[in-house]
A and B are shown apart, each in its own frame.
Chain A
């Protein structure tokens, strides 16, 4: 069974940093791209970025709203994907979901989400 478990969320002050982790199980982690999608309170889904599998270069893509501040990385030996968030803003407050893929352009597996609150 595919499982994705996010951790690392919490309350952080504006301008500070936070790192989220996504621990995966139930599939060969290294074979898949991994993504982060966020949802501000009461709002819709916003794609944050993804990291390709190492077979496809292990490179990452980001949404314009986070490019230069957020970095996605992966440790295939531990089956963990990371989201390093720097220079956080109040508008980054959201539930952050880890997802497997995109695979064939979509996301069939999602974690339960972790809440990040950016506030002074």
Chain B
């Protein structure tokens, strides 16, 4: 099973600052199958990034993804008030085919 470990667990930043979230895999993950989601309280997750670096439809360009192999990063260039939420990475592979990271909570400092 591929385990995804996200860090930090909680990130405290101010609007306008840059956020860097990490997702580390226990085994190599195909970049094609690494995604990032945002979840706000009481809402379903929203797809932000797929294929490690491609923005989903309607996602602002302040969100970017990068990485390969076992290390992936989600960067938010300038935080807006609506960006404070929980972020999850997710991979698609084999047995089990889908795993999620434990999440990073991005909170207002």
Chain A residues engaging chain B, CB cutoff 8 angstroms = 35, 37, 44-47, 50, 61-64, 97, 102, 104-108, 110-113
Report, as a range, how many residues of chain B touch the other chain.
20 to 34
Residue of B nearest to A64 (CB): B96
Measured CA separation A105–B97 after assembly (Å): 9
One of B33, B45, B102 near A110 (C-beta < 8 A): B45
Asked whether, in the complex, the Cβ of A35 is within 8 Å of the Cβ of B98, the reply is yes
Measured CA separation A105–B44 after assembly (Å): 18
CB neighbours of B97 from chain A (8 A) = 47, 50, 61, 102
B72 within 8 A of A: no
B90 within 8 A of A: yes
Asked whether, in the complex, the Cβ of B98 is within 8 Å of the Cβ of A47, the reply is yes
Residue of A nearest to B90 (CB): A106
Interface positions, chain B 40-68, Cβ under 8 Å from A, are 44-47, 50-51, 56-57
